[in-house]
Amino acid sequence: MKNKKKIIIWGGLIIVLLILLIPKIDFTSSEETSSNTNPASRMVPVNGLIIDTKPLQNKIFSNGTLVSNEEVELRSETSGKITQILFVEGKQVKQGDLLLKINDAELQATFKKNKSRETLAKDREFRYKQLLEKNLTSQQEYDVQLNELNSVLADIEFTQAQIEKTEIRAPFDGVIGLRSVSVGSYISPQTPIAKLQSINPMKIDFAVPQKYFGLIKEGKTVYVKLASTGKIFNGRIYAVEPKIDQNTRTVQARAVVPNERGELTPGAYVEIDIVLEELRDAIMIPSEALVPDLEGEKVFVYRNGKAVPLIVQTGIRTESEVQIVSELSKGDTLIASGIIQLRPNAPVKLSLVR
């Protein structure tokens, strides 16, 4: 019994000693110890890219409305009954084409009468001129015949002008719209006949905030996107309103865009990208490489195996990139990944990407 008690006591003591000693024993291998002390194991793996320059357009967005290059509502200069309609609705017409004719029977009769008077007046003026040259009549009598001739010519010119008012001609090339009159209708100068529009090129009316007043200038490029089809057309600004709208604090401008195929329609809504300036050597970096900082915004560059922070100034932003206007130079190596794990001058393991 005594031997059993001794064995139990000694066994208990051995177990207590083991419990006290096990935490102090280092079970790690020598290889693991050496790896923890190796500086390479503390390097943060990052991706980097070589900074290069590329062209960049500084653009702003606006929306606008398509407007005909020229537009007029056709009306008659005189009252009368329509005798002819010589245009087809929705078709092209040329400048000077006769579109509509009003009854001019009375004016034509007056014109013929005056032409007969002209012939007689010319003969009498010619005879009196010959008599005057032979001193067979006085200067006064000749002047009476000359004045009579001039009066008849004026009457003819007046009648011709009245006849021209009975003819409606196209003032420019364009597409004529739907007519609102018919042959036999009696019209007056207040009666609308149809609309004529020139749609090549097209104009675009739009507005931009007043802060861009100095940048919106004649000749600037615009990209016009038609909302219905998504197709993009190139145009240019040709006129800017010299006054800022006091109610909206915007600047009204107008651009012109070619429309050879007739794809643009007056009155349509369009989206516009306005190119304010063209930059040839812009430094652009991925947006995710830019880090907010108390002093502004910063990036990390790779120098001598370390991540060196730089406070930078930014410029134009696109959907995925940011322009850097200071500190970064062409040829610098920008750290583009692992940014959150980096500390100033931390050692990094770099892998270059394109």
- DSSP one-letter code for 92: E
Query: What is the C-alpha separation between 59 and 38, in angstroms, rounded?
Result: 51
**Interaxial angle between packed helices 139-164 and 105-133, expressed in degrees from 0 to 180 and rounded to the nearest 10:** 160
Nearest to 55 by CA among 352, 321, 341, 350: 321
Tally Cβ neighbours within 10 Å of residue 187.
20
**Residues of the chain above pLDDT 90, percent:** 57
Contacts of residue 184, Cβ cutoff 8 Å, sequence gap at least 6: 81, 82
pTM of the model: 0.66
Confidence (pLDDT) at 34: 44
Answer yes or no: are the C-beta atoms of 258 and 221 closer than 8 Å. no
String of DSSP letters for 13-73: HHHHHHHHHGGG-----HHHHHHHT-GGGGPEEEEEEE--EEEEEEEEEEEEEEEEEEEEE
- DSSP one-letter code for 136: S
**Could you tell me where the beta strands, DSSP code E, fall in 87-231?**
92-93, 98-102, 167-169, 174-176, 186-187, 194-209, 221-226
String of DSSP letters for 82-144: EEEE---TT-EE-TT-EEEEE--HHHHHHHHHHHHHHHHHHHHHHHHHHHHHTTSS-HHHHHH
Query: What is the C-alpha separation between 7 and 31, in angstroms, rounded?
Result: 41
Backbone angles phi, psi at 289, to 5 degrees: -85, -5
Q: 293 to each of 150, 287, 296, 313, how far by Cα in Å?
A: 91, 15, 5, 12
Cα end-to-end distance, the chain, whole Å? 83
Confidence (pLDDT) at 338: 84
Residue 207's DSSP bridge partners are 252
Query: What is the C-alpha separation between 353 and 48, in angstroms, rounded?
Result: 6
Residue 3's DSSP bridge partners are none
**Per-residue pLDDT reduced to its tens digit, 245-276:** 999 999 999 999 999 998 999 999 999 999 88
Confidence (pLDDT) at 28: 45
Query: What is the C-alpha separation between 311 and 291, in angstroms, rounded?
Result: 9
Domains of the chain as residue ranges with CATH: 45-56+281-352 (2.40.420.20), 62-68+199-279 (2.40.30.170), 72-187 (2.40.50.100)
Answer yes or no: are the C-beta atoms of 328 and 285 closer than 8 Å. yes
- The bridge status of strand 346-352 relative to strand 44-50 is parallel
Opening angle at CA 20, ends 14 and 26, nearest 5: 115
Contacts of residue 132, Cβ cutoff 8 Å, sequence gap at least 6: 138, 139, 142
Contacts of residue 135, Cβ cutoff 8 Å, sequence gap at least 6: none
Confidence (pLDDT) at 12: 63
- DSSP one-letter code for 333: E
Instruction: For the chain of 354 residues, list the mean pLDDT of each consecutive stretch of 10.
Output: 59 64 49 46 83 87 94 95 95 95 95 94 93 89 93 95 95 95 95 95 94 89 88 94 92 95 92 88 90 88 90 87 89 88 88 80
- DSSP one-letter code for 137: S
- Preceding amide of 344 cis, omega within 30: no
